[in-house]
Copies of this chain bind each other. A is one copy, B any other.
Amino acid sequence: MAKTNPGRFFEDYSIGQVIDHAVPRTISGGERALYHALYPARHALYSSDEFARASGLPASPIDDLAAFHVVFGKTVPDVSLNAVANLGYAEGRWLLPVYAGDTLRSSSEVIGLKQNSNGKSGVVYVRTKGTNQRGETVMDYVRWVMVRKNDLDAPAPETVVPSLKPALAVEDLTVPQGLDFSGYDFTLAGEPHRWGDYEIGETIDHVDGVTIEEAEHMIATRLWQNTAKVHFDATFRTGGQRLIYGGHIISMARTLSFNGLANAQIIVGLNAGAHANPCFSGDTVKAWSEVLDKAETAAPGVGAIRLRLVATKGGAPFALKGDDGKYLPEVLLDLDYWALMPL
């Protein structure tokens, strides 16, 4: 029997199954510096220990999305090695900031299964959680992927489709303990716009763009120990281009959104996400946002804002779907998340 990991096929999953993912990871200042080198990350809370302390935290955590990538990367060998498509995210919650010195691990529970009518594949729903060295959950999220069957004769499992919230309510969000934006320094943060300055329905063109290079997305994807072959091996695809990890686009779009949303400091909820079209090296990624909702929180000076973040590789800002209801070909990402902002 081959000693390499063949990955799991659809028939290998069962409801309630818990998969402990391999390769725990200790975070240092190195991961933080690399995140800032690979993305135009400028949110002050993640750049400056002093700014984080002035906001009530003990130090500057690693970027919320960096924590997400570390947790997510570990699931790839167990969940998506034989995946045909990454279908969606829901109920993502950031529960504890991650600091240099923390060691993260991940586990996933299978919460849904639905074989496709063609009998060749099916949809697997997992709830993944990341935990630190104290066993505390730092984040969790639901993700569903379409996975191939290996044994087409394997019986179809009972269909279980989990009931997932279309979006988290503000009550579902966890504000980091001690967070206090009442003395927030808007000058140091980079923009004067506070929570009250944003209106539901408002759209923001983030203007800046980054042209994607092979070396950069591979460095990023490896840093999160994501092993999916298509991101690294150019021989998979005519033209020699690698398929770029969807998470690279998420981080690129989020950091580009600094220009116009510099004060949307902390991501606390992931409501939904779609990788609308693939991205390749040479594409120039831009981003726009739409304010979907707003809510107050119990923390001093802290408001919550729900944002749609759209990444594109061309086309006009604010265009999302065609008359047929499908994403336009230049749309890369449609992400729905909650962030915390000074009131």
Q: A159 near B: Cβ within 8 Å? A: no
Q: Which of A44-52, A170-178, A324-332 makes up part of the contact surface? A: A44-52
A337 at the A/B interface (Cβ < 8 Å)? no
A301 at the interface (CB under 8 A from B): no
Interface of A is mostly: mixed
Residue of B nearest to A31 (CB): B33
Complex-state Cα separation, A175 to B232, whole angstroms: 34
A211 touches B188 (CB 8 A): no
Residues of B within 8 A of A39 (CB): 222
Number of copies: 3
B28 and A48 within 8 A (CB): no
Interface 0/1 of A6-47, CB less than 8 Å to B: 000000000000001011111011111110111111101001
Specify the chain B residue showing the minimal Cβ separation from A233. Answer: B209
Cα–Cα distance between A219 and B218 once the two chains are bound (Å):
13
| A187 contacts B by Cβ under 8 Å | yes
Find chain B residues with CB under 8 A from A274 CB.
none
Which candidate, A84-92, A149-157, A200-208, A302-310, is the interface stretch facing chain B? Answer: A200-208
Q: Would you call A261 and B3 a contact (CB within 8 A)?
A: yes
A227 to B232, CA, bound (A): 27
Expressed in whole angstroms, the minimum distance between the Cβ of A101 and any Cβ of chain B is 8
- The answer to whether A209 touches B190, judged by C-beta atoms less than 8 angstroms apart, is no
On whether the beta carbons of A229 and B211 are closer than 8 Å, the reply is no
- B44 x A259 contact (CB < 8 A): no
Question: Which of B30, B42, B188 is close to A30, meaning CB atoms less than 8 Å apart?
Answer: B30
Q: Which of A234-263 contact B (CB under 8 A)?
A: 234-235, 240, 242, 259-262
Contacts of A22 in B (CB 8 A): 42, 44, 187-191, 262
Mark interface residues in A110-131 (1 if CB within 8 Å of B CB, else 0). Answer: 0000000000000000000000
A60 an interface residue at 8 Å Cβ cutoff? yes
Closest B-chain residue to A214, C-beta based?
Answer: B213
Question: From A202, which residue of chain B is reached at the shortest CB distance?
Answer: B3
Which of B211, B232, B240 contacts A233, CB < 8 Å? B211
**Given the contacts A4-B259, A218-B213, A48 and B29 also touching, CB distance less than 8 Å:** no
Q: Chain A 257-282, CB within 8 Å of chain B: the 1/0 string?
A: 00111100000000000000000001
Given contacts A211-B232, A218-B213, A240-B211, contact A24 B51 (CB under 8 A): yes
State whether A48 touches B103 (Cβ < 8 A).
Answer: yes
Residues on the B chain within 8 Å of A235, using CB: 209, 211, 284
Contact of A216 with B by CB under 8 A: yes
- Complex: how many Å from CA A337 to CA B5? 23
Determine how close the nearest CB of chain B comes to the CB of A90; give it in whole angstroms.
27
Q: Is A67 interfacial (CB 8 A cutoff)? A: no
Interface 1/0s, chain A 164-192, versus B by CB < 8 A? 00000000000000000000000111110
Contact indicator B36/A33 (Cβ below 8 Å): no
Query: A133, B50: Cβ atoms under 8 Å?
Result: yes
Q: List 11 A-B contacts (CB under 8 A).
A: A5-B190, A23-B42, A26-B49, A28-B29, A28-B33, A41-B222, A209-B232, A215-B216, A215-B219, A216-B218, A216-B219
Besides A4-B204, A5-B191, 12 other A-B contacts (C-beta < 8 A): A2-B204, A3-B204, A23-B188, A24-B50, A28-B29, A30-B32, A34-B37, A37-B219, A37-B222, A209-B229, A210-B233, A211-B240
